[in-house]
Amino acid sequence: MSQPRPAPQPPPDLIAEATKRAGLIWITIDGQDRPRPAWHVWRAGTGRAGPGSPGAAYVVTGPGEQPLPGLAGAGRVTVIVAGGQTPGGRVEWTAAVGRVEPGSGEWDEVIGPLVAGRLNAALAEGETSPAPRWATSGAVFRLAPAPDDTALGDRGPDGTAAPNSRILLSAAPLSVHPDRRLAGHRQRRHYPLASQPPVWRFLMHRSFRSVLAVAAAGGLCLAGGMAVAAPALGASAAHHSADSTATPIQHVVVIFQENVSFDHYFGTYPHAANTDGNPFHARPGTPSVNGLTPALLTHNPNSANPQRLTPAQALTCDQNHGYTAEQKALDQGLMDKFVEFTNNSTCSPPNFSAPGLVMDYYDGNTVTGLWNYAQRYAMSDNFYDTVFGPSTPGALNLISGQTGGATPLNAAGQVVNPSGAVGSQGANGVGTVFGDPDPFYDGCANHANPTVSMSGQNVGDLLNAKGISWGWFQGGFAPTSTNAAGFAVCGATHQNIGGN
């Protein structure tokens, strides 16, 4: 039976640029049922795959490091690089595998960048660097782009192609701790189709939060989330900045989704079942999203396959979006424990609950408004926090890209140290938000628990500097009065759509 012919090797410059920028790569080794995610460093001008090599990717494996079984005995592997900066969202290239010998010139060249890139390395007592351990019980491997003529198979002794051969390295197979896994955010699985070359699918219950960015040429009123406007929505022309806009876009509205995955609302976009609810038919040429592929719907790595939710199930239990639950659900990059650690099926009617609910999704027949926004404006299908946790870290990441610079305060404005919602606090009490504290300066904040005051720049500061008005709109309560001390009294209440 003939082997399918691999795709041609991408241009060397494209391989170098895409791999250099990628936070992770996926390594596919023949005979294994799935690719292995791996952190790496890219070094230009290195590698031994032939003249003109653009460089090589270097990976570390061994006890206490990312497991890459089979790499030591593989002469060729396939490297997958995913990312928005790559054509079609993916670059796939063939790499020649070589072990970097400790003490060699190549080792001395790459070991520094590898140690610098190995964040949060667990060091044994007396260790100041993981490099000596890599030299004795681990290994550093070079993945160099193979010339296109050798990408079709390894060469035999006579120089002819030998597609099924493997270059056997002198190094013995590594002893890799079976319980150590990569701390990453994606993985892929190989699904060969009968009539076409292998196709790669994301296996990913994606980010807990996503952003739908909406740009409008005129006044636009959207409900919920975050809105950034110039001027504020509904304002008259007299309030516009004196400077005219460089483009027809005058108002920008960002709808910020929280507490559930992107797939929960947009997993099958732009395809709706149209068996109930509001009919939805996408415009011709609508691009697809990084969502629920057929493989993810029927062979999901989690313990439950995603199920479609109907309009009658529009009010569901919230998922567990605490710091520890989310961290355990990611399972050190395997993305396969969401049901075990973030599912919530114990809420009360009228909220809908079901086993595996955290994996389930709506389509355009239920969340028709969101899908219509996506048809007309710009949507981001990937948004990653700098920290696990509930609503507050996500909101802070949206406007500032980080959650540091937080000072926990009590109602009297005194520093609280330690605080249950802020970690890594210094002597002055300043630390990083990982919980869900209220903002100190919010008139309706609950000061029964420590609140936080944030320092550092955010997008509001940048807009202020340019004289552009903005606002943040969020479900909550407006003050109803003030007390004798001049503080706000927030006495209003309202029911949600479930009557609670």
Q: Where are the alpha helices (DSSP H) in 63-209?
A: 105-117, 131-136
Give me the pLDDT at residue 9, please.
87
> Sheet holding 90-99: strands in order across?
36-38, 25-28, 76-82, 90-99, 139-145, 55-61, 41-44
Q: Give the pLDDT band of residue 391 (cuts 50, 70, 90).
A: confident
Q: Are residues 153 and 24 in the same domain?
A: yes
Residue 364 scores a pLDDT above 50: yes
Region 339-364: what's the mean pLDDT? 89
| Pairwise pLDDT comparison (328 vs 484), residue with the higher score | 328
Whole-angstrom Cα distance, residue 287 to residue 300? 23
Position 498 in a domain: no
Give me the pLDDT at residue 424, please.
92
| Pairwise pLDDT comparison (173 vs 285), residue with the higher score | 285
**Tokens 């006044």, residue located:** 219
Give me the pLDDT at residue 461, please.
92
Point out the domain boundary residue: 327, 348, 376: 376
Report in angstroms the alpha-carbon separations of 387 from 207, 251, 357, 384, 422.
12, 30, 24, 9, 12
Q: Which domain holds residue 21?
A: 12-194
Tens digit of each residue's pLDDT (9 = 90 or more) over 76-107: 999 998 764 555 567 899 999 999 999 999 99
Residue 249 scores a pLDDT above 60: yes
Position 146 in a domain: yes
Position 495 in a domain: no
Q: Are residues 151 and 283 in the same domain?
A: no
Tens digit of each residue's pLDDT (9 = 90 or more) over 15-27: 998 898 887 888 9
Give me the pLDDT at residue 145, please.
93
Region 371-395: what's the mean pLDDT? 85
Q: Give the pLDDT band of residue 476 (cuts 50, 70, 90).
A: low
Q: Are residues 184 and 225 in the same domain?
A: no
Q: Are residues 368 and 412 in the same domain?
A: no
Looking at the 3D structure of the chain, how many domains does it have? Answer: 3
Q: Give the pLDDT band of residue 227 (cuts 50, 70, 90).
A: very low
Q: Are residues 230 and 324 in the same domain?
A: yes
Exposed/middle/buried for residue 9 (C-beta within 10 Å: 0-12, 13-18, 19+):
buried
Asked which of 303-307, 441-445, 475-479 is least confident by mean pLDDT, the reply is: 475-479
Residue 154 scores a pLDDT above 70: no
Asked which of 120-134, 244-258, 397-411 is least confident by mean pLDDT, the reply is: 244-258
Region 354-381: what's the mean pLDDT? 92
Residue 150 scores a pLDDT above 80: no
Which residue in 46, 16, 183 sits closest to 111, CA to CA? 46
Give me the pLDDT at residue 258, please.
78
Please report, for the domain that includes residue 235, its CATH number. 3.40.720.10
Backbone torsion region of residue 401, taken as left when φ is above 0, otherwise alpha when ψ lies between -120 and 50, otherwise beta: left
Residue 246 scores a pLDDT above 80: no
Residue 321 scores a pLDDT above 80: yes
| Pairwise pLDDT comparison (71 vs 6), residue with the higher score | 71
Position 7 in a domain: no
Q: Are residues 327 and 446 in the same domain?
A: no
Please report, as a single letter, which amino acid is at residue 86.
T
**Would the pTM count as exceeding 0.75?**
no
Q: Are residues 288 and 336 in the same domain?
A: yes
Q: Are residues 20 and 82 in the same domain?
A: yes
Q: Are residues 227 and 345 in the same domain?
A: yes
Q: Are residues 181 and 234 in the same domain?
A: no
Point out the domain boundary residue: 376, 407, 426: 376
Give me the pLDDT at residue 132, please.
92
Q: Give the pLDDT band of residue 139 (cuts 50, 70, 90).
A: very high
Q: Are residues 86 and 55 in the same domain?
A: yes
Give me the pLDDT at residue 381, please.
81
Residue 344 scores a pLDDT above 90: no
Give me the pLDDT at residue 77, please.
95
Whole-angstrom Cα distance, residue 168 to residue 306? 42
- Average pLDDT value for the chain: 76
Report in angstroms the alpha-carbon separations of 249 from 211, 221, 234, 287, 497.
19, 15, 15, 22, 34
Q: Are residues 177 and 244 in the same domain?
A: no
Residue 325 scores a pLDDT above 60: yes
Give me the pLDDT at residue 193, please.
29
Region 321-333: what's the mean pLDDT? 88
Distance of CA 35 to the CA centre of its chain: 18
